[in-house]
C-alpha cells in the first residue's frame, strides 16, 4: 500500500499517516483510498469541535481558475484544524496574470510563504509541473480537464456515507465525460471497487477511450449509453455533471449539446427509490430545481464531504 509521489522516486507509507504531494487518483491503490475515507469519517467530529492540530501551519491557495466549493472547503478545512490560510482566488490579481510570471517562479516564491500549496490551474499537467518546482507539498485542486483528485475522494466519501458501502453498487456517470475532470478522478477511484458503471454522454462528450480501457482492465463492467433515461434506470448512484463550456475549442460544439442532458422529476421517477443523485456543482440547468426536494437529491449534502475529506488530506500531509 503506497502513495506514489510525483516523480515516482519516493514512496510514503499511508499507514504512517504521512503524505506528500496529492496530484492524481492514479497514484493511489484501494487501501490508500480506504484509509483516506476512514480518516475523513474521523474528521466529522473534529470539524464540529475544531482542533489546534495544524496551528503552526500555513496553507496557500493558488486558484488560477474560478472556484467556490474547492477553495472555500479547503480554507474551511484548514481553519477547523487550527491552521492559517493565504492565497489568491483570481489569477488577474496575481503576478502570473498581471505581469506574466511563470508557474515555476510563482511556486518557487509561494513555497517560501506556506507549508502546503493547493493549486487549481486551467492546464492539464500543471499540478505535476508545480510539484517539480516545489519543496512543499502540492495538492491538485483541479488541473485542466484532466483530474480533480480531492473531488474524486470526496465523491467516494459521499457514496460510502449515503449508501453505506461502495462495492456492489451500480453507478452512472453522466454529462460531460470528455472535459469533466471530476468524472475522470471519480471513475479511476471507483475502478478499485466492485462497481458496475454506466457512462452516459452525448456522442461528442464521451469518456476518453484510455480511461474506459483502464476501467475495463481493472475488471469493471462498463456500459456506454447516450441518454439520461438509460443512466437513471437501476442506478444506485447517478453522478451528473455540467457541460464544461469553458473547455470547448469551438463554441458551436457547446451549443450543439447544451441542455441535452437534464434531470427533471420525470427522470428521477425512473430511479430506484433508494438511489441517490450527486453532482460536483456548480450546476447550470442540468438538474431542475424541483429535484432538490426529492430524497434522491444529495448534491448539497455532498458539498460538506469536501470539508471533512480535505481535513483528512491536509492532516495526513501536514501532521
Residues that bind ligand CP (CB under 6 A): 67-70, 142, 148, 151, 280-282
Report the nearest approach of ligand CP to the CB of residue 69 (Å). 4
**C-alpha radius of gyration, the chain, whole number:** 19
Active-site pick, 148, 161, 192, 279:
148
CB-nearer residue toward ligand CP: 70 or 143: 70
CB-nearer residue toward ligand CP: 138 or 222: 138
CB-nearer residue toward ligand CP: 196 or 247: 247
Report the nearest approach of ligand CP to the CB of residue 14 (Å). 24
Q: Are strands 84-88 and 3-4 parallel, antiparallel or unpaired?
A: unpaired
The x, y and z cell numbers of residue 70, run together, are 474547492
Active-site pick, 20, 70, 310, 315:
70
CB-nearer residue toward ligand CP: 89 or 171: 89
Report the nearest approach of ligand CP to the CB of residue 304 (Å). 13
Specify whether 217 is catalytic. Answer: no
Geometric angle at alpha carbon 284, from 279 and 290, rounded to 5°: 75
CB-nearer residue toward ligand CP: 70 or 170: 70
Specify whether 182 is catalytic. Answer: no
Specify whether 294 is catalytic. Answer: no
The x, y and z cell numbers of residue 23, run together, are 496530484
Report the nearest approach of ligand CP to the CB of residue 175 (Å). 13
Active-site pick, 49, 52, 99, 217:
99
Cα distance between residue 172 and residue 198, in whole Å: 5
CB-nearer residue toward ligand CP: 97 or 282: 282
Active-site pick, 20, 120, 181, 192:
120
Neighbours of 97 (CB within 10 A): 13
- Give 242's contacts (C-beta < 8 A, 6+ positions apart): 175, 176, 180, 279, 280, 282, 283, 284, 286
What separation, in Å, do the N-terminal and C-terminal C-alpha atoms of the chain show?
A: 19
Report the nearest approach of ligand CP to the CB of residue 311 (Å). 16
Specify whether 120 is catalytic. Answer: yes
Specify whether 69 is catalytic. Answer: yes
Active site residues: 69-70, 99, 120, 148
Amino acid at each position: 500500500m503506497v502513495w506514489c509521489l510525483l516523480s515516482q522516486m519516493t514512496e510514503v507509507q499511508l499507514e504512517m499517516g504521512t503524505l506528500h504531494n496529492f496530484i492524481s487518483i492514479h497514484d493511489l491503490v484501494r487501501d490508500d483510498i480506504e484509509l483516506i475515507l476512514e480518516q475523513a469519517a474521523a474528521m466529522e467530529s473534529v470539524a464540529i469541535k475544531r482542533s489546534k492540530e495544524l496551528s503552526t501551519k500555513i496553507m496557500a491557495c493558488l486558484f488560477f481558475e474560478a472556484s467556490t466549493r474547492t477553495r472555500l472547503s479547503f480554507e474551511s478545512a484548514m481553519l477547523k484544524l487550527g491552521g492559517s490560510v493565504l492565497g489568491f482566488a483570481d489569477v488577474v490579481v496575481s503576478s502570473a496574470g498581471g505581469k506574466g510570471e511563470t508557474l515555476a517562479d510563482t511556486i518557487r516564491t509561494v513555497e517560501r510563504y506556506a507549508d502546503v500549496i493547493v493549486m487549481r490551474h486551467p492546464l492539464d499537467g500543471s499540478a505535476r509541473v508545480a510539484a517539480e518546482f516545489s519543496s512543499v507539498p502540492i495538492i491538485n485542486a483541479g488541473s485542466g480537464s484532466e483530474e480533480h483528485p480531492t473531488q474524486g475522494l470526496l465523491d467516494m466519501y459521499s457514496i460510502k456515507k449515503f449508501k453505506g458501502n461502495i462495492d456492489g453498487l451500480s453507478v452512472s456517470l453522466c454529462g460531460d465525460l470528455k472535459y469533466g475532470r471530476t468524472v475522470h478522478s471519480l471513475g479511476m477511484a471507483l475502478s478499485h471497487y466492485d462497481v458496475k458503471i454506466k457512462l452516459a454522454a452525448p456522442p461528442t462528450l464521451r469518456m476518453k477511450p484510455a480511461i474506459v480501457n483502464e476501467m475495463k482492465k481493472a475488471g469493471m463492467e462498463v456500459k456506454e449509453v447516450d441518454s439520461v433515461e438509460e443512466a437513471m434506470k437501476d442506478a444506485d448512484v447517478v453522478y451528473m455533471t455540467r457541460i464544461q463550456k469553458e473547455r470547448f475549442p469551438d463554441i458551436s460544439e457547446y451549443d450543439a449539446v447544451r441542455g441535452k442532458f437534464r434531470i427533471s422529476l420525470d427522470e428521477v421517477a425512473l430511479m430506484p427509490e433508494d438511489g441517490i443523485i450527486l453532482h460536483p456543482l456548480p450546476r447550470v440547468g442540468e438538474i431542475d430545481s424541483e429535484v432538490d426536494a426529492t430524497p434522491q437529491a444529495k448534491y448539497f449534502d455532498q458539498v460538506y464531504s469536501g470539508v471533512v475529506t480535505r481535513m483528512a488530506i491536509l492532516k495526513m500531509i501536514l501532521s
